[in-house]
């Protein structure tokens, strides 16, 4: 019996922030927690093998940095080795995480070659072993799973019952197959059947895909069912997403400065500053919001260009500060 299952205490419909590698790092999650906290957050996905390796563990531990303000915070891990998963889950429990999540949906070829990520959709017995191993390693924490609805085709009739049999605390389904990647529309029409398959299991089931705002999440859950939804890419440049308010330009740029400085403080020893640049365009409304027909501001393109040419955090913050003053 899990002693501390925070999932059971979350108000329905649950709206979670999904893990995005090199995006939802500790710096960005702290900013999000301050300006619009979701029901639950996940770390960037981290290698369980690396986490328990005497040489690689320091670098991987960087991915598992978190602050108290982010709770409930879940460590997301990947591996194809149950023993490594057990050890890594035990470490996550010791580090004070609120839960452990197993990535069974990543389509990255280097991850799949290890038999992890989406490759586990083709090896459900191993997938179940990994869940059991995480539960054994972290008996006080809820173990959840994030996966897809199939590898080359929809296989929910096989995948969902198999994973539920291992009794995870929560199951998030990216409603696309591995083959579809993110190109096809998410199959939210399958959620009613998925919820039927999960009936009586006690497992919390979230849908994921084609949801970029809390309003869209509530709409999808109301229409198709589920205990909630997970949002991923909608968070780019928008730490206010879960507060459902639109900041003015001054606040956007001031928070971007805060984000850059925090990234530099927390990650400069392990991550290249170029990682921050994927956020720049999204923070600038003239570019990020043009598709919504919203009016931008003079000098947006020039500001973006200067930021993309910056090579350090101090250089980038100076560019924004000069623009504001």
Domain ranges of the chain: 6-241, 247-324
Q: Quick one: average pLDDT of 98-108?
A: 97
**106 is an active site residue:** yes
Our measurement of the distance from residue 323's CA atom to the centroid of its chain's CA atoms, rounded to an integer in Å, reads 32
Whole-model pTM: value is: 0.93
pLDDT tops 70 at residue 3: no
Quote the pLDDT of residue 183.
Answer: 83
> According to CATH, what is the number of the domain 6-241?
3.20.20.70
CA distance 179 to 263: 34
Q: How confident is the model at residue 297 (pLDDT cuts 50, 70, 90)?
A: low
- Residue among 90, 106, 121, 133 flagged as catalytic: 106
pLDDT tops 90 at residue 49: yes
Please provide the DSSP assignment of 83-136 as one string. HHHHHHHHHHHHTT-SEEEEEE----HHHHTTT-GGGGGG-HHHHHHHHHHHHH
Q: How confident is the model at residue 59 (pLDDT cuts 50, 70, 90)?
A: confident
Q: How confident is the model at residue 292 (pLDDT cuts 50, 70, 90)?
A: very low
Q: How confident is the model at residue 294 (pLDDT cuts 50, 70, 90)?
A: very low
Q: How confident is the model at residue 222 (pLDDT cuts 50, 70, 90)?
A: very high
Q: How confident is the model at residue 203 (pLDDT cuts 50, 70, 90)?
A: very high
Which position has the higher pLDDT, 71 or 296?
71
Q: Quick one: average pLDDT of 160-186?
A: 96
Among 41-55, 128-142, 165-179, 282-296, name the one with the lowest average pLDDT.
282-296
Q: How confident is the model at residue 281 (pLDDT cuts 50, 70, 90)?
A: confident
Q: How confident is the model at residue 249 (pLDDT cuts 50, 70, 90)?
A: confident
112-153 pLDDT tens trace: 999 999 999 999 999 999 999 999 999 999 999 999 999 999
pLDDT over 70, % of the chain: 95
Quote the pLDDT of residue 298.
Answer: 67
Question: Which segments of the chain does DSSP mark as H helices, in order?
Answer: 26-35, 48-51, 57-63, 82-94, 109-112, 124-137, 156-165, 191-198, 214-224, 249-267, 277-283, 285-288, 300-309, 313-324
Which position has the higher pLDDT, 269 or 88?
88
Instruction: For residue 40, give the nearest of 199, 175, 206 by alpha carbon.
Output: 206
23-39 pLDDT tens trace: 999 999 999 999 999 99
Q: Quick one: average pLDDT of 165-171?
A: 98
Q: Enter the tokens of residue 58.
A: 């320091």
Residue 191 neighbours by CB distance under 10 Å: 23
CA distance 124 to 155: 11
pLDDT tops 60 at residue 181: yes
Q: What are phi and psi of 46, to 5 degrees?
A: -130, 145
Q: Quick one: average pLDDT of 207-235?
A: 96
71-85 pLDDT tens trace: 999 999 999 999 999
pLDDT over 90, % of the chain: 80
């Amino acid at each position: 019996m899990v002693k501390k299952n925070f999932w059971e205490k979350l108000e329905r419909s649950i709206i979670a922030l999904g893990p995005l590698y090199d995006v939802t790092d500790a710096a960005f999650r702290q900013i999000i927690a301050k300006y619009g906290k979701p029901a639950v957050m996940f770390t960037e996905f981290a290698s369980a093998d690396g986490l328990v390796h005497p040489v690689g563990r320091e670098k991987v531990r960087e991915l598992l940095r978190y602050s108290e303000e982010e709770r409930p915070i879940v460590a997301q891990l990947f591996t194809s080795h149950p023993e490594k998963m057990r050890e890594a889950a035990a470490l996550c429990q010791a580090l004070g995480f609120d839960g452990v999540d197993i990535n069974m949906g990543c389509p990255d070829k280097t991850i799949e070659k290890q038999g992890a990520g989406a490759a586990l959709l083709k090896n459900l017995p191993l997938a179940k072993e990994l869940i059991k191993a995480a539960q054994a390693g972290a008996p006080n924490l809820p173990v959840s799973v994030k996966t897809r609805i199939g590898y080359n085709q929809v296989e929910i009739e096989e995948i969902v019952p198999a994973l539920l049999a291992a009794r995870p605390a929560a199951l998030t389904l990216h409603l696309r197959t591995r083959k579809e990647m993110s190109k096809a529309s998410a199959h939210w029409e399958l959620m009613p059947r998925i919820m039927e398959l999960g009936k009586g299991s006690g497992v919390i089931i979230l849908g994921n895909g084609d949801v970029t705002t809390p309003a869209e999440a509530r709409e999808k859950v109301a229409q198709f069912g589920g205990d909630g939804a997970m949002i991923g890419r909608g968070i780019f440049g928008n730490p206010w997403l879960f507060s459902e308010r639109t900041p003015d330009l001054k606040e956007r740029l001031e928070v971007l400065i805060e984000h850059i400085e925090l990234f530099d403080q927390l990650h400069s020893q392990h991550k290249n500053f170029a990682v921050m640049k994927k956020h720049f365009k999204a923070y600038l409304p003239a570019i990020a919001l043009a598709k919504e027909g919203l009016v931008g501001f003079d000098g947006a393109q020039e500001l973006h260009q200067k930021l993309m040419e910056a090579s350090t955090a101090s250089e980038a913050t100076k560019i924004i500060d000069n623009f504001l003053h």
